Structure formats: C-alpha cells, structure tokens
Structure 1
Amino acid sequence: MKIGYIRVSTQEQNTIRQEVLMKSLGVDEIYIDRMSGKNANRPELQKMMEYVRKGDTVIVESISRFARNTRDLLELVEQLTAKGVEFVSRKEAIDTTTPTGKFMLTVFGAVAELEREYILQRQREGIAIAKEQGKYKGRKPIEAPEFEQTIAKWKSGAITAAEAMRTLHMTKTTFYRKVKRLR
C-alpha cells in the first residue's frame, strides 16, 4: 500500500499542491498534519507510523515535510525500516531500499536541519534589529479591567481560581504571574 504524508507549518497554509502530487502517485491513504515539523510529536504522523505495515511505502513530497532535524528523520526512517516499510521522498529522489538512498537520506536530513537553524538565526537577528529600532516590543500584556475585583472575589473564597481564570480569559500561568505581581 502507498501511504502519503503531508505537512504544512500552520493551519492557514494550503496542502493542495502536496495532495495533487500524492494523487498523481496513486497513494492509497493520506495523513495530513498542520503544524511545525520541529519534532516528531505530530498526531497524524504518529497515526501513520502506527498504521503502516510490512510491504507499505511511505511517500513524502520532501524530507522537510517529514522531519526538520536529522535525528528525527533517521529515527522515523529506522522505525519504518524495522516494520519492513519503504520510504520515498519525491523532491530529493530518495528511496531507502538502496544503500545510496540511505546515504542520501542522511545528507539531505542534515541539510534540512541546517536550513531550519538558519531560519531561526535570521528570525532572532531580525527581532534584535527591530528591538534596537523600537519597532518590536514583544507581545502586548493582557489587560483585564475587572482584574482586581475578580482577584478580591477569589481571595475571599467567593469564586475558585479556575472561575477567576475563565472570567479574566487568562491561562493559569498568566493568572498566577499577575497575582504574584500584585503582592
């Protein structure tokens, strides 16, 4: 069976280009994740890894869609190999059934990881420059006009902390950080 894996980095990004490729390759089953590839903790990837069995072939558009660091890539491919599953990356023309394909997989995996590191470095540099120019000030603080009244109710025992957080639309971390600053 041919199994396709598709990943885009955000919910807003479009998967159509990858889906068209999978259909043209005669893929039987497709798994789609809409989240960062920085690690292998992706729900559809995990479902696919559990689903595949001996004789299947996992097809991806490119290595960067499957894994963003060499270690994850090699571990995932090793898990597939242990199950008797082939791995094919169309963009890089990698087929893990050959020694050359395995070698190229390692090389391209390292390149994908390097590319991600460059992206993160450029992002950090851009933020630093924007801060120097006064254009980047970070996230705006959460302002809740009813904060003090809600905290007073919570401290008096009229409402629970969970109710106070819901009322103020705050996460647990934000709530307790702001409470701590009041002291």
Structure 2
Amino acid sequence: MTTPSQWADEGDDALSAFPANASGVLLGYARVSTKGQNLDRQIALLEGAGCARIFTDKKSGKNAERPELWNALDYARPGDTIVVPSLDRLGRSIQDLIAIVAGLRKRGIGFQSLHESLDTTTPGGRLVFHVFAALAEFIRELIVQGTHEGLAAARARGERIGRPPAMSEEQILHARSMLANPEASVTSIAKLLGISRTTLYKYVPELKAGGRPAVGAQAVPVKLG
C-alpha cells in the first residue's frame, strides 16, 4: 500500500501551485482516537460539505497504522479532493501533515480542512501550507542548533556527555578494597555492589588477566569513560 513518504520526491517544491480540477469528487476522512468515541459529528460535517464517500478510522493520531486513511489516499484520483473536519484529524504532526498534503499535490489531488477553512486548490490555501512547511523546517533547525549549543556548553564546563558510568569512582575503590580479601569472590562483590560481573571486569581491568589487588595495595584510579 502506498504511503505519503513514498510519494514525495526530494528537491521538488511539493507545495507549489497546481491547476484546480473541479471534475473530481470530494472524499471525506474522519478519525477518533478510541473505539468508544463517536464519529457521527465528523461524518455529518463531511456529508454537509458534499463528500461522495467517507473513510473513517478509530486510531490514535500517534498511531502510524491508519488503514482507512491510506485507503482514502489510494482511492483518490487526479482532480479529487480529500476533505477532513480539522487538520488534527489527518496528521500526527505538522511534518506528517505536510508530507501527506505534498503527496496529494504531486498526484493532482486537492485537500480541504473544514474547521480551518483551508483549501489547497486556492492561492490562499497553498500560501498557508507554504508557511506551515517553512515554520516546521525553522523549528527543526532551532532544535538541532539548540542541541549542538547545549552539548558544546556542557563540554566546555567539563561535564560528561552521554550515559553515566555504571560504577562511580567510590564504587571502584570499594570493589578493589574488597577484592584484596582472598575470601571475597568476584561474583559476591558484584552482587553486593548491584552490578554484573562483566561491569566489574570492565572497571577493574586487572581481573581479566586473573589478577587481584594485593592486600594493602594502594588502589589505582580507573578513568571513567
């Protein structure tokens, strides 16, 4: 089954104007998040708008599996128009919404949202979606830039980036002091510290060669990383 991501071609202005074709039909799409919710109000709106056929889903907007939406998009032909009661019924996010409308545009299919009074077959409707696309890209770039700046500032402060170490310096020193006791086993020490044997071997590397810290020996710090 075709999905919107398969329709879009990178490098093309997916939201550019296309000739309106009034010969097609209006196809409605309605969705509620749970099976317990009622679709009647949305269906009435779509019928009032003149939709010849209505597809419905009872799926969360976060759920990528919206079979009737994909059926509606596959059913539509050039000149048809997909109609929804509101924008949040169609897309899981602004990026998802733009991808779907972009795919429709490429196939010569219009899009209308009744609540927002948007119609991509009109100059005003196309302008709104250009703004949406630009805003989505702007927000994405801000997030990426903010993330990079935050990481750089943390590194400049000497903060460790990434997952915290499985053992602290104090735990390593404690493990070394306990392992200096010949009666203490690697398994028992690992269990006492709440770590695995593998972790203990990683942070006390001399154990891999079969060695154990000597009684009274000074603990050698291990660099965490």
Same fold at TM > 0.5: yes
How does 1:15-164 map onto structure 2 within 5 Å? Answer: 15-105=39-129
Residues in 2 aligned to 1:17 and 1:78: alpha-carbon distance in whole angstroms: 28
SS of corresponding position for 1:78 = helix
Residues in 2 aligned to 1:38 and 1:71: alpha-carbon distance in whole angstroms: 13
* RCO higher in structure (CA 8 A, sep ≥6): 2
SS of corresponding position for 2:79 = coil
| CA deviation profile, 1:152-174 (whole Å, cap 9, x unmatched) | xxxxxxxxxxxxxxxxxxxxxxx
Shift of 1:54: 0.4
Uncovered stretches (5+) of structure 2, i.e. residues with no partner: 1-24, 140-225
Any conservation in 2 of the 1:57–1:88 contact (CA below 8 Å)? yes
Shift of 1:11: 0.6
Opposite residue 57 of structure 1, the aligned amino acid is T
Residues in 1 aligned to 2:89 and 2:101: alpha-carbon distance in whole angstroms: 14
Uncovered stretches (5+) of structure 1, i.e. residues with no partner: 115-183
Opposite residue 37 of structure 1, the aligned amino acid is G
Residues 79 and 52 of structure 1: is their aligned pair in 2 closer, same or farther, counting only changes over 3 Å? same
Which consecutive aligned stretches of 4+ in structure 1 deviate over 3 angstroms post-superposition?
Answer: 105-111
Opposite residue 92 of structure 1, the aligned amino acid is E
Residues in 2 aligned to 1:108 and 1:12: alpha-carbon distance in whole angstroms: 32
Opposite residue 129 of structure 2, the aligned amino acid is L
- The alignment yields a C-alpha RMSD, in angstroms, of 2.2
Residues in 2 aligned to 1:85 and 1:27: alpha-carbon distance in whole angstroms: 14
Residues in 1 aligned to 2:109 and 2:43: alpha-carbon distance in whole angstroms: 21
Identity %: 43
Residues 41 and 106 of structure 1: is their aligned pair in 2 closer, same or farther, counting only changes over 3 Å? farther
Residues in 1 aligned to 2:92 and 2:76: alpha-carbon distance in whole angstroms: 21
| CA deviation profile, 1:102-140 (whole Å, cap 9, x unmatched) | 2323656879xx9xxxxxxxxxxxxxxxxxxxxxxxxxx
Residues in 2 aligned to 1:68 and 1:13: alpha-carbon distance in whole angstroms: 18
Residues in 2 aligned to 1:107 and 1:69: alpha-carbon distance in whole angstroms: 15
In the alignment, structure 1 residue 14 sits paired with structure 2 residue 38: yes
Any conservation in 2 of the 1:70–1:106 contact (CA below 8 Å)? no
SS of corresponding position for 1:12 = coil
Shift of 1:55: 0.7
**Size of the alignment, in residue pairs?**
112
Opposite residue 93 of structure 2, the aligned amino acid is N
Shift of 1:100: 2.7
Opposite residue 80 of structure 2, the aligned amino acid is D
